Amino acid sequence: MKPSQAVLLNADLLPIILSEFEENQDEMFLYLFVNKTWAATLVRLLWKAPIWNSPRSYKSFLRTLKRSNVTFAYGKLIRRLVFEPIKNREQPSFANEDLKLFSTKSGRLTHLTFGQTDNFFSAEAVSELVKNNQNLLGFAATKPCYNIEWLNIALSPVINGHCLKLSQLEIQNMRHFLIFMDYWPNGDYSDDAISQTRNLIKEIGFKCPIFALDINVHIDDEMANMIIQTFKNLKILHCETVSCSALKILLPYCKKLKWLSIAFSSENPTEDVQQDIGSQFPSLDALNLFLPPHDWSPFTKALAPNQTNLRRINLFGCDSVTDEAFLPIAKNCLRLEFIGLICCQLLTDASISVLARNVGKNLKNINICRIPKLTDVSIIEIANSCHNLEKFVLESCKKVTSRSLTLLVRKCKSLTELSGDYPRIIAAKIVSTLAVQGNTKLQVLQIHSRHDPDSNILEGKKYRRFDLGLLEKLAEKCPKLRELELKCYITGLYPNLLINALYKLRNLEKLFMEPRQNQKLNREHIMKLENHPRLKEVRFDGGCSEDAISYIKERSKNKKGMFIHKIDKLLQLTTYIYRKSIPSYKKDRYN
């Protein structure tokens, strides 16, 4: 680099330059090692945590950390260290020695997570890592076998005042995991353990400015009193269950709460109690609710008028929520951007239609699953009102037809993700509409189709078949597709033509398809597919010849990124092909 270039391309200009590579992180990382300023600035800018996609990649990184003569102090660049399982990937195996290596090489961690992986770290090794990272902002331990004894040792540096900036705490060592006791023999689910965990949380709260608290525990009156005395600046609270009496204690003193996830315990509060609790909720940004079987309309009527700033709501498994209970939310919460309605089986078109009309301009993401009374009326209202919709997920709503879904595809031009399971004929019509109409913003398309004779009768027999021609048109009309999951019947799926069609999806990174068993991909097809310019992950459910499977097994043994997974007792093979890729990233849940 010339001196003049070094002056012009300084750290102040990097955010502007790197913003051009948001969609293709591969290209962004090509510039990581231009010089030390670029490398350090880039890592500071990233809000996501690196993921090692294969044992080969993380072992290479560990070997690099051990070296004394490296160009960059890579360990000092790490801010977030997360040990969690990666979907469809072989589980990396970390040892306590690896954790000690991070302790000596990485002294600038801000977030540390120990998730549900097969790795078990000793409390002493974790304690050493925590102690050597005094700027730690977030700590999470979500594996049930990390019991109270383990937590007391691992978090002792926090209790002793070594991490005075800690603001996010997540520990899940409670009765919620009782069903896993046989699998996690070290778990302690006694009342004494829960009392000790409460005391541990209290000690940390007195030492650190915690604003985000995620604990899988039932909040009773005693726990509620502890929270209001200890966590004065609480903005985010996730818990397992909460009693109505505890909410009466908690809510008046938690006026700063912005994100709340709770499940009401199994009790039947009176109308007066519901109104009293609902009216005391602070104005929230996000609310996740589980409501047990009961009439909750008095609660929602008291809750909704104060939630005018609510941007996210998720109702999960609320089987007893009726239109009477949901309509106050639809009429008052006009700034909603995300809506999740999972297994709310009593809701009808009346609720969804009113919701779509009222929040249409702001709504960006909607996830609807298992609402049997939902029909085309609701989806048409969403299509006509929610033109800024970016993500749409619909599953197990059997009364919805292609009439409304194709209208949604045509009218919602800002869609970046479209997912769902549909009858075969509806799936074909959705893809056909996309292939004709086009969508230059669509990045994720996940279509699962099922055989449903009733839908065939309802839809009529004449429809465009899903064939390779349709796939090629999809590549042309939706050029930004990064993830394509087509678990459906495709005609004319000849291997050579399929590979050629996939090459036309130039930005494709993940692919899941079901080739027909009588038209199998062979070794040469797999080798050609590996040369796709961006493809990193491919899964074929069946449809591979014996030599293709042998080739993938051979590559997998050589640890070159290929995996084979058996999916059923008939030994039907699902083949996974992974290109060695630049690490991807995961957003922090509290941002």
- How does pLDDT run across 190-231, given as a tens digit for each residue? 677 778 888 999 999 999 999 999 987 889 999 999 999 999
**pLDDT score of 233 more than 80:** yes
Query: Are the C-beta atoms of 57 and 88 separated by less than 8 Å?
Result: no
- Tell me, yes or no, whether 563 and 430 share the same domain: yes
Residue 451 pLDDT grade (very low, low, confident, very high; cuts 50, 70, 90): low
- The answer for residues whose C-beta is within 8 angstroms of residue 174's C-beta and 6 or more apart is 189, 194, 197, 215, 216, 217, 218, 240
Tell whether 569 and 433 lie within a shared domain: yes
Q: What is the pLDDT of residue 266?
A: 79
pLDDT given for residue 149 in this prediction: 87
What is residue 579's predicted lDDT score, i.e. its pLDDT? 39
How much is the pLDDT for 5? 47
- Rounded Cα distance between 327 and 380, Å, is 18
Which H/E stretch holds residue 275? helix 271-280
Question: Is residue 496 domain-shared with residue 386, that is, in the same domain?
Answer: no
Angstrom CA distances, 432 to 76, 106, 411, 482, stand at 50, 51, 15, 19
Q: What is the 3-state secondary structure (H, E, C) of 299-325?
A: HHHHHHHHCCCCCEEEEECCCCCCHHH
Q: Please indicate whether residue 503 or residue 9 has the higher confidence score (pLDDT).
A: 503
Paired tokens of 579:
């290109």
Closest CA to 184 of 82, 93, 116: 116
Tally the C-alpha atoms within 13 A of residue 493's C-alpha that lie toward its C-beta.
Answer: 21
3-state helix, strand, coil in the chain (%, to 5): 40, 20, 40
Q: Which of 9-18, 238-247, 368-377, 569-578 has the lowest mean pLDDT?
A: 569-578
Number of domains in the chain: 2
Domain identity same for 408 and 507: no
Identify which has the larger pLDDT, 427 or 306.
Answer: 306
DSSP string, 193-256: HHHHHHHHHHHHHHHS---EEEEEEEE-HHHHHHHHHH-TT--EEEEEEE-HHHHHHHGGG-TT
Q: Per the structure block, which two tokens stand in for 99? A: 């954790």
Tell whether 539 is covered by a domain: yes
For residue 388, name the pLDDT band (cuts at 50, 70, 90): very high
Nearest Cα residue to 130 out of 167, 171, 162: 162
User: Domain range for residue 559?
Assistant: 416-450+464-586
Q: How many CA atoms lie within 13 A of 345 on its CB side?
A: 7
Give the rounded percent of residues in the chain with a pLDDT score beyond 90. Answer: 48
Residues 329 and 469 in one domain: no
- Nearest to residue 445, comparing CAs of 465, 455, 431, 459? 431
**Neighbour count for residue 420 (Cβ, 10 Å):** 22
* Whole-number pLDDT of residue 206: 93
pLDDT tens digits, one per residue of 22-51 = 555 555 554 454 444 444 444 444 444 444
Confidence of residue 569 (pLDDT cuts 50, 70, 90): very low
The sign of the dihedral angle between the CA atoms of 407, 409, 415, 419 is: positive
- pLDDT score recorded for residue 329: 97
Give me the residues paired with residue 263 across strands.
290
Same domain membership, residue 502 and residue 567: yes
In a domain, residue 487? The reply is: yes
Same domain? For 512 and 576 the reply is yes
Amino acid at 117: T
Separation between Cα atoms, residue 456 and residue 401, nearest integer Å: 10
> What pLDDT band is residue 174 in, cutting at 50, 70 and 90?
very low
pLDDT band for 323, please (50, 70, 90 cuts). very high
Beta bridge partners of 444: 417, 483
pTM recorded for the entire structure: 0.84
Among 97-101, 353-357, 375-379, the least confident range? 97-101
Whether residue 100 lies inside any domain: the answer is no
- Residue 514 is assigned to a structural domain of this protein: yes
The answer to whether position 367 is within a domain reads: yes
Q: State mean pLDDT over 128-134.
A: 95
Q: Return d(Cα 172, Cα 104) in angstroms, integer.
A: 28
Helices 96-105, 123-131: inter-axial angle, 10-degree rounding: 10
Q: Is residue 397 part of a domain?
A: yes
pLDDT higher at 9 or 223: 223
Closest CA to 219 of 271, 254, 181: 254
Give the pLDDT of residue 488: 76
pLDDT one-digit tens code per residue, 519-558: 688 889 888 888 888 887 888 877 788 888 888 777 766 5
Residue whose C-alpha is closest to residue 402's, from 431, 362, 381: 431
Confidence at residue 125, expressed as pLDDT on a 0 to 100 scale: 95
Would 97 be classed as within a structural domain? no
What does the pLDDT read at residue 27?
Answer: 53
Report the pLDDT value the prediction gives residue 161, as an integer from 0 to 100: 93
Same domain, 382 and 436: no
Sorted by sequence, the CB contacts under 8 Å of residue 302 that are 6+ apart come out as 274, 275, 276, 277, 278, 279
Residue 39 to residue 43: CA distance in whole angstroms:
6
The answer to whether residues 407 and 367 belong to one domain is: yes
The answer to whether residue 247 scores a pLDDT higher than 90 is yes
CB atoms within 10 A of CB 9: 17
In whole angstroms, give the CA distance from residue 456 to residue 376.
16
Q: Are residues 350 and 435 located together in one domain of the fold?
A: no
Compute φ and ψ for 148, nearest 5 degrees: -65, -35
Give the CATH number of the domain where residue 409 resides: 3.80.10.10
pLDDT for residue 77 is more than 70:
yes
pLDDT at position 281 = 96
> Measuring CA to CA, which residue among 198, 210, 209 is closest to residue 237?
210
The two structure tokens encoding residue 389: 């919709």
Give exposure, 32-53, as e/b (b: 16+ Cβ within 10 Å).
Answer: eeeeeebbbbbbeebeebbebb
CA distance 101 to 78: 13
* pLDDT at res. 489: 72
Q: Report the chain's mean pLDDT, rounded to a whole number.
A: 81
Count CA atoms closer than 13 A to 517's CA, side-chain side. Answer: 3
- Per mean pLDDT, which of 330-344, 480-494, 544-558 is the most reliable? 330-344
Residues 436 and 494 in one domain: yes
423 shares a domain with 510? yes
Whether residue 357 lies inside any domain: the answer is yes
- H or E stretch covering 511: strand 510-513
**380 Cβ neighbours under 8 A, 6+ residues apart:** 403, 404, 407, 408
More confident position, 61 or 500: 500
Q: Residue 274: what pLDDT?
A: 95
Residue 184 has pLDDT above 50, yes or no: no
Write out the DSSP string of 335-392: T--EEEEES-TT--HHHHHHHHHHHTTT--EEEEE--TT--HHHHHHHHHH-TT--EE
Give pLDDT, residue 257: 96
* Contact present, 577 and 553 (Cβ < 8 Å): no
